[in-house]
Amino acid sequence: MAIQLSIALHLACAIGFLAWPGGWPWFLAALVLCHTALGSAGMRPSSQLLGPNLVRLPAAAERRGEIALTFDDGPDPDVTPKVLDILERYGAKASFFCIGENAAAHPDIVRDILRRGHGVENHTMHHSNLFGFFGPTALRRDIGMLQSLLGKLAGRPPVFFRAPMGIRNPFLDPVVTGLGLKYVSWTRRGFDTTNRGPANVLARLTCGLAAGDIILLHDRKSVHGDAIVLTVLPLLLERISATGLKSVSLQMAMR
C-beta atoms surrounding 179 within 10 Å? 17
CA–CA separation, 56 vs 74, rounded Å?
22
Judged on CB neighbours under 10 Å (0-12, 13-18, 19+), 127 is buried
The 3 state secondary structure assigned to 132-169 is HHCCHHHHHHHHHHHHHHHHHHHCCCCCEECCHHHCCC
Q: DSSP H helical segments within the chain, as ranges?
A: 2-19, 24-43, 59-63, 80-89, 100-105, 107-115, 136-154, 172-178, 198-206, 229-242, 250-253
Contact 120/158 with Cβ under 8 angstroms?
A: yes
Contact 97/72 with Cβ under 8 angstroms?
A: yes
75 secondary structure, DSSP code: -
**72, 73, 76, 173: which is the annotated catalytic residue?**
72
**127, 142, 218, 219: which is the annotated catalytic residue?**
218
CA–CA separation, 119 vs 158, rounded Å?
8
| Closest residue by Cα to residue 154 from 191, 193, 103 | 103
Judge whether 192 counts as a catalytic residue.
no
Judged on CB neighbours under 10 Å (0-12, 13-18, 19+), 254 is middle
Judge whether 218 counts as a catalytic residue.
yes
Q: Which residues are catalytic?
A: 72, 218
